[in-house]
Amino acid sequence: MHEATVDISAVIPVGSRRDDVAALVGEYAEGLRSAGVSFEVIVVLGGDCNGVAAQLAEMADANDWLRLIELARDFGESSALTAGFDAARGRSILTLPAYYQVVPAELPKLVAAGEESDMVIAVRWPRAGSALEGWRRNVFHGVLNFITGQRYRDLGCGVRLMKREVAEEIPLYGERHRFFPTLARSRGYQVREIEVAQSPQDDFRGRYRVREYLHRLLDILTLFFLVRFIKKPLRFFGTIGFIVGALGVLFLAVLIVQRLFFGVGLADRPALLLSSLMVVLGVQIFALGLIGELVIFTHARELKEYAVRRVIGGDRPAGED
Amino acid sequence: MSGRREADCPLDFSVVVPLYNEEESVQLLYERITEAVAPMGRAYEILFVNDGSRDRTLEIAAGLASRDPHLKVIEFRGNYGQTPAMAAGIDHARGRFIVTMDGDLQNDPADIPVMLDELTEDFDMVVGWRKNRQDKLITRKVPSWIANRLIGKVTGVPIKDNGCSLKVYRASVIKKVPLYSEMHRFIPAMASIAGARVREVPVRHHARQFGQSKYGLSRVYKVLLDLLAIKTITGFAQRPLVWFGMLAIPFALLSLAFLVASLVPLFGEPGALSLPFAGTALLLAALSFFLVMGGALGELIYTTGDLDMSRYSGITAVTSRERLPEGAPQAPQPGSQGALGDA
């Protein structure tokens, strides 16, 4: 990242889901201006946005607070954000979606709250939408909150203001941007939720298909692993493997006892296949955990398990005694 | 970080103490450590690592640090656990030797000078042995005794007391040992694969004065898993394929047995081949194959890893020397050494 020269860098990743980006950028800028801070806006274009690119380039020529980054193709939102962070010159970084989620005029609320916390995330509230959507959202966040032990109400909202070091420290790739607050808090940063009015143009028509649900489910599993077991793979794989394997062994023991003492034949029992399959699966999962331990051991130095807030005292020059 | 040399260690030794909710003992701890090490007349620093305490630990420690330039407080953003706290202290330490100890005053700082003396040219690490341990028998001492025997057997580094935090390391050695998860219990074993020579010295142990013990029986299961991980990492550090191959052997034999059992009907009495037997044989064969492949993957991981494995030989020497008479107070007084140093 560059040296900090402005208060806030707003990073807008533009992907396939987008509204009128040029109009939106203008509204965001208006909102930030009313917050009374110096700012810049960085729009990261992921590939196929021809019309938008020309329009924004024109706009960038007229306004020196606007910059454009064009990526070769759409690498996904996390990569776009990372590209934007790399170019950012703000003391704080604000991520904004390229589609309507919140009312841009509400941004000053976020900026004000950003003074006190390491990260402030917007919660769209009050929330429009059907009861089914609300229910779906509650289930998703309920499961996530249960697993991570953190409390969030709207991880789908891309409006997040964070101190520069948060963006620098947490690597984003794949779909991880969605869980940015979770990852930030697990690194010890304070994250606060702020209620912000939802934009009337915010809608999800046709966004939630079966595939989407499956992705969310795998996301949850990923997060579970990342937050809890990143340095202890054997605790994760070992426990699962042990349970599966132990069930298999137990089942096998029952079969053997039946064979030895109750005269039930073993050779013609498909249950034997099931139980040995479970043993095999258990050992395989366990072995994966061992391989995980090898990975962690050989690459451990790159992963710091702790995060230091500050070091107090001890500034005595060496060799004074 | 890892590439530190002697030149980057301007001090003689660093005392690293992880603190978690120790507001009652932190002041006393600081005084005891200072009393013990200051008269030695060597350049030292004390590193308190505040592991996200929720009480006044940080406040008190910071207050002490503002008055004593020897004391440095490292404040974590959250609670990460004892091993990461030690790792942070070790990463920040500037001494040529590093002393680690618990923050609950169960270790006696007066043992530090003795242990530093024990760390002669021949050794890289001196570990404390709580000979007269002041803890509950059933919940602490018995599990610990079993764990130590097991750890000794599995790792091949027969240390009587792995759980004792009071240890002295040569900085150049400990900074190379990866510390993560809850591996602080296995530091001697981990270090020994780096060729470290370990000595064990009896130290005093006091009953808990303040607060609650933070560990209980629940860790047995964790220790067992960690131990298995350590075994994988250390015992076969350079040959994962062999280690996984060994794992595969019993399953391969079992597979063979089932295969024979399934083929028996073909030769003896008439009847169909046993499908469950044949299936089980195949499954087990697949498992042994999977494990060998896992070993190959392990080889790949080691080759690309950032550890210089050529340095990691299996040589280690462990000696134990009785220094303290049972229950008696410490013989050499740190003060006398200080007087010598001043003279």
Residues of A in contact with B92 (CB under 8 A): 311
Q: Which of A284, A305, A306 sits opposite B290 (nearest CB)?
A: A284
Measured between CB atoms, which of A187, A238, A268 is closest to B276? A268
The minimum CA-CA distance between B277 and chain A, rounded to whole Å, is 6
Q: Name which of B82, B181, B254, B275 to mutate to probe chain A: the one with the most chain A Cβ atoms within 10 A of its Cβ.
A: B181
**Per-residue pLDDT averaged across A267-272, rounded?**
77
- List the domain boundaries for chain A: 6-127+154-199, 233-302
AA identity, residue B296:
A
Contact between chains at B65 and A313 (C-beta distance less than 8 A): yes
Nearest to B73, CA basis, from B32, B114, B29: B29
Least confident of A144-148, B64-68, B211-215, B319-323: B319-323
Question: Which residues from A are below 8 Å from B233, CB to CB?
Answer: 293-294, 297
- Residue of A191, A272, A275, A298 to mutate for B, most B C-beta atoms under 10 A: A298
How far is A312 from chain B, CA to nearest CA, in Å?
5
Beta-carbon count within 10 A of A245 CB = 19
Note whether B298 contacts A300, CB cutoff 8 Å.
Answer: no
Least confident of A67-76, A232-241, A261-270, A288-297: A261-270
Min Cα distance B201 → chain A (Å) is: 28
Q: Which of the residues B44, B74, B94, B299 would you substitute to probe the A interface, choosing the one with the greatest number of A C-beta atoms within 10 Å? A: B74
User: ipTM, 2 decimals?
Assistant: 0.71
Residue of A nearest to B93 (CA): A314
Q: Is the pLDDT of residue B324 over 80?
A: no
Answer yes or no: is pLDDT of B264 > 60: yes
A280 to chain B, closest Cα gap in Å? 6
Q: What is the topology classification, in CATH, of domain A6-127+154-199?
A: Spore Coat Polysaccharide Biosynthesis Protein SpsA; Chain A (3.90.550)
Residue of B nearest to A276 (CA): B280
Answer whether A267 sits within 8 Å of B280, measured CB to CB.
no
Asked if the model's pLDDT at residue B63 lies above 60, the reply is yes
pLDDT of B100 above 50: yes
- Examine the pLDDT at B124 and tell me if it is beyond 90: no
Parallel, antiparallel, or unpaired: how do β-strands A39-46 and A6-14 relate?
A: parallel
- Lowest-confidence segment of A160-174, B34-48, B64-78, B142-156 by average pLDDT: B142-156
Size of interface A-B (CB pairs under 8 A): 180
* pLDDT value at residue A269: 78
Q: Which chain B residues contact residue A245 at CB under 8 A?
A: none
* Segment among A173-187, A259-273, B67-81, B311-325 with least mean pLDDT: B311-325
Task: Convert the pLDDT of each residue in A1-32 to its tens digit.
Answer: 677 889 999 999 998 888 889 999 999 999 99
Q: What's the pLDDT tens digit per position in A170-189?
A: 888 777 888 899 888 888 88
What is the structure's pLDDT at A300?
A: 66
What percentage of chain A has pLDDT greater than the value 70? 94
DSSP B183: G
Phi, psi of B233 (to 5 degrees): -70, -45
Per-residue pLDDT band at A163 (split at 50, 70, 90): very high
Average pLDDT of every residue of chain A: 85
What chain A residue is nearest to B292 in terms of C-alpha separation? A287
Section A283-297 average pLDDT: 87
* Nearest beta carbon to residue A276 from set B61, B280, B291: B280
Min distance B51 CA to chain A CA atoms (Å): 9
**Whether pLDDT at B319 is above 80:** no
Q: Do B87 and A303 touch (CB under 8 A)?
A: no
Cβ contact B294–A187 (<8 Å): no
Q: Which of A290, A299, A304, A309 to mutate to test the interface with B (most CBs of B within 10 A)?
A: A290
| Neighboring chain B residues of A308 at a CB cutoff of 8 Å | 74-77, 88
Chain A residue with CA closest to B73: the answer is A312
Q: Which residues of B touch A302 (CB under 8 A)?
A: 306
Cβ-defined contact of A272 to B276 (cutoff 8 Å): yes
Q: Which residues make beta-bridge pairs with A42?
A: A11, A67
What does the pLDDT look like over A214-248, one tens digit per residue?
Answer: 887 888 888 887 777 777 888 889 889 999 999 99
Does the CA dihedral B301-B302-B304-B307 come out positive or negative? positive
Q: Which chain B positions have a beta carbon within 8 Å of A305's beta carbon?
A: 80-81, 83-84, 87, 180-181
Contacts of B283 in chain A (CB under 8 A): 273, 276-277, 280
CB B92 within 8 A of CB B11: no
Q: How far apart are CA A141 and CA A136, in angstroms?
A: 9
Q: What is the mean pLDDT of chain B?
A: 77
Is-contact A282 A245, C-beta < 8 A? Answer: yes
